[in-house]
Amino acid sequence: MSENTTANKPKNFIYEIIDEDLKTNKWGGKVCTRFPPEPNGYLHIGHAKSICLNYGIARDYNGKFNLRFDDTNPEKEETEYVESIIEDVNWLGTDFGDKVLFASDYFEQMYLWAVELIKKGKAYVCDLNADEIRASRGTLTEPGKESPYRNRSIEENLNLFERMKNGEFANGTKTLRAKIDMASPNFNLRDPIMYRIIHAEHHRTGNKWCIYPTYDWAHGNEDSIEGITHSICTLEFENHRPLYDWFLDQLGVHHPQQIEFARLNLNYTVMSKRKLLQLVQEKYVDDWDDPRMPTISAYKRRGYTPEAIRNFAEIVGVAKRDALTDISLLEFAIRDDLNKHTQRVMAVLNPLKAIITNYPDGKIEELEAVNNPEDPSMGSRRVPFSKEIYIEQSDFMENPPKGFHRLIHGGEVRLRYAYIIKCDEVIKNDNDEIVELRCSYDPETKSGTGTSKKKVKGTIHWVSVNHAIDVEVRLYDRLFTVENPGVEENWLSCINPNSLEVISNAKLEPFLRNAKKGERFQFERNGYFCVETKHATNDKLVFNRTVTLRDSWAKK
């Protein structure tokens, strides 16, 4: 619980607030944070930032971190979402104690507190309908008008509120409102609604309740009940803080400090749950975990690691200014992690057959290949080499541009872990398409022998034809063609039509035959890939491309 636990970390303004609180003993040395999702959709990378922030604070200060579902609206919430959220929060590696918490477990307490406010003359039952309330709220420049029901007696309010709870009234016919100030420049203080009548089945409380607390009334109560010290939320709640404070002050209960920070926005994607839901419902993507989505489950399926996500959260930092973060920061985080930890392997995505004419028929050599040059402890493997191999179509050019380091007609290139070969002949079909290469190899140039005097500019990967396994590979690109689709009037028209490319006949070295679902590899010179966990058949392995390798040649 000391400051030096964070002494070597870069501090954001929230850490500074907490340091100061510890110094002044504001909370008796306690630090308690929470992540309070509404179970109305899947978690996305922006939520991951919030989770990392809140959990990171609890961890760094030896405090406590709660996972609490803000399930106050039965019409939008589902158990499926609760389950996915728990899974994602776990996957990120947070420790939220021995149980998951729910706002719905506090409904009784909140009801009692509402009664208390009525008794203090601070809340009243209002018979205005939604339209009438909107009409009387005023505008940006004009104050609102007080409800004609604002000055009901405490007894009448108590009676009416109980009858609301008992289900005597239809949806929308009555609300419980806080009696604050209809002339406040802050709309949130113009007699905000605390309870609305919703006759709907709640995913946890069933039909026990037909009145449900609004966010404004519920949220501070939830934080208070759990003993939260720092209630961290995003900027759009800044205007709600005075109300958060007002409720807690009226109640005289534990009063956490609300602190707002700027939510994460990533370019070339959308981050609103509403939009993500629409992408799913209208089938622009597979599902919430479609690898093109910015959801946690999608990143997981695509091959991202929790470490990379956490590191990304660290890299983007925490501040109050609005930001549109470049996706390259995320890609850096995942490459950085995968580079250090993944097994290298050779895979030819778009095969072109090459026959090494002077290599003996039927001969097979088992060549040694390093598994990970970044980590010698990962050892090496044997890769079969033979007369017929596949190389990448893009590794051969008849009319190469200046600076092309790969195979050309009459030129030489090294086959990774094998020999230097020379292209002697280009075979084409009737359509003038290259269908095969005839090459010759130099036996003196075998990899690792140190006998090669030759120097070639390029090294390309390959797979032995007779040993190759056929796999499907899915290449993903950004889901949108514009940097900030979320602000476009017709954002759906900005969807990238080429965000998914399926390659059904990629060739892999046999080492991968028994790759397990979710396993990650680097396909040398191509990128990082992982075995698909969801839509894959048994007869063929399917790989998802997590991210490409940096490619300083492709950029020209």
Range in contact with RNA (rule: CB under 7 A) among 181-189, 200-208, 301-309, 378-386 = 181-189
Task: Report which of 36, 111, 109 is spatially closest to residue 68, judged by C-alpha positions.
Answer: 36
Question: What whole-number distance in Å separates Cα of residue 42 and Cα of residue 356?
Answer: 52
Q: 115, 158, 355, 549: which one contacts RNA (CB under 7 A)? A: 549
Q: 240, 255, 300, 301: which one contacts RNA (CB under 7 A)? A: 240
Q: Which is nearer to RNA, 216 or 412 (CB)?
A: 216
Provide, rounded to whole angstroms, the least separation between the CB of residue 433 and RNA: 21
The answer to whether 265 touches 46, Cβ cutoff 8 Å, is yes
Range in contact with RNA (rule: CB under 7 A) among 299-307, 354-362, 428-436, 443-451 = 443-451
Range in contact with RNA (rule: CB under 7 A) among 51-59, 223-231, 283-291, 547-555 = 547-555
Burial class (CB in 10 A: 0-12, 13-18, 19+), 78: middle
Question: What whole-number distance in Å separates Cα of residue 249 and Cα of residue 311?
Answer: 38
Q: Is 442 helix (H, G, I), strand (E, B) or coil?
A: strand
Interface residues for RNA in 43-62 (CB under 7 A)? none
Is 447 a binder of RNA (CB under 7 A)? Answer: yes
**Active-site option among 3, 38, 365, 483:** 38
**Other C-beta atoms lying within 10 Å of the C-beta of residue 134:** 10
Is 533 a binder of RNA (CB under 7 A)? Answer: no
Provide, rounded to whole angstroms, the least separation between the CB of residue 66 and RNA: 15
**Active-site option among 137, 150, 263, 382:** 263
Q: Which is nearer to RNA, 30 or 202 (CB)?
A: 202
Range in contact with RNA (rule: CB under 7 A) among 81-89, 115-123, 250-258, 548-556 = 548-556
Provide, rounded to whole angstroms, the least separation between the CB of residue 121 and RNA: 21
Provide, rounded to whole angstroms, the least separation between the CB of residue 211 and RNA: 9
Task: Report which of 186, 185, 251 is spatially closest to residue 218, judged by C-alpha positions.
Answer: 251
Determine whether 414 is an active site residue. Answer: no
Q: What residues are paired with 425 via a beta bridge?
A: 438
Is 237 a binder of RNA (CB under 7 A)? Answer: yes
Token readout for 354 is: 């090459």
Beta-carbon contacts of 479 under 8 Å, excluding residues fewer than 6 positions away, are 268, 269, 285, 292, 293, 495, 496, 499
Question: What whole-number distance in Å separates Cα of residue 220 and Cα of residue 243?
Answer: 9
Q: Where are the beta strands (DSSP E) in 371-510?
A: 380-385, 388-392, 396-397, 407-408, 412-415, 420-428, 434-442, 459-460, 462-464, 469-476, 500-508
Q: Which is nearer to RNA, 53 or 471 (CB)?
A: 53
The site for RNA, by CB under 7 A, has a size of 97
Q: Is 503 helix (H, G, I), strand (E, B) or coil?
A: strand
Question: What whole-number distance in Å separates Cα of residue 363 and Cα of residue 419?
Answer: 14
Q: Which is nearer to RNA, 173 or 504 (CB)?
A: 173
Q: Where are the beta strands (DSSP E) in 71-224?
A: 101-102, 123-126, 175-178, 193-197, 211-213
Range in contact with RNA (rule: CB under 7 A) among 89-97, 154-162, 290-298, 332-340 = 332-340
Token readout for 275 is: 């939009």
Provide, rounded to whole angstroms, the least separation between the CB of residue 278 and RNA: 14
Interface residues for RNA in 393-432 (CB under 7 A)? 403-406, 414, 416-417
Provide, rounded to whole angstroms, the least separation between the CB of residue 179 and RNA: 15
CA 59: distance to chain centroid? 21
Q: 156, 366, 374, 488: which one contacts RNA (CB under 7 A)? A: 374
**Active-site option among 68, 152, 196, 273:** 273
Q: CA–CA distance from 299 to each of 86, 92, 187, 239, 303 (Å)?
A: 16, 11, 38, 33, 6
Interface residues for RNA in 116-175 (CB under 7 A)? 128-130, 133-134, 137, 139-141, 171-175
The contact mask relative to RNA for 7-46 (x = CB under 7 A, - = no) is ---xxxx--x-------------------x-x--------
Q: Which is nearer to RNA, 315 or 435 (CB)?
A: 315
Q: 98, 236, 430, 432: which one contacts RNA (CB under 7 A)? A: 236
Interface residues for RNA in 336-355 (CB under 7 A)? 336, 339, 344
Provide, rounded to whole angstroms, the least separation between the CB of residue 227 and RNA: 19
Angle at 462 between CA 458 and CA 464, to 5 degrees: 150
Q: Is 243 helix (H, G, I), strand (E, B) or coil?
A: helix
Provide, rounded to whole angstroms, the least separation between the CB of residue 535 and RNA: 27
CA 556: distance to chain centroid? 31
The answer to whether 486 touches 275, Cβ cutoff 8 Å, is yes
Is 555 a binder of RNA (CB under 7 A)? Answer: yes
Provide, rounded to whole angstroms, the least separation between the CB of residue 342 and RNA: 9
Q: Which is nearer to RNA, 154 or 329 (CB)?
A: 329
Token readout for 326 is: 């470049």
Provide, rounded to whole angstroms, the least separation between the CB of residue 394 and RNA: 9
Interface residues for RNA in 300-319 (CB under 7 A)? 315-319
Which amino acid is located at 508 in the chain?
L
Token readout for 484 is: 């900030």
The answer to whether 294 touches 275, Cβ cutoff 8 Å, is no
Is 73 a binder of RNA (CB under 7 A)? Answer: yes
Q: Which is nearer to RNA, 426 or 549 (CB)?
A: 549
Is 373 a binder of RNA (CB under 7 A)? Answer: yes
Q: 2, 79, 153, 239: which one contacts RNA (CB under 7 A)? A: 239
Q: Which is nearer to RNA, 104 or 544 (CB)?
A: 104
Determine whether 263 is an active site residue. Answer: yes
Active site residues: 38, 263, 273
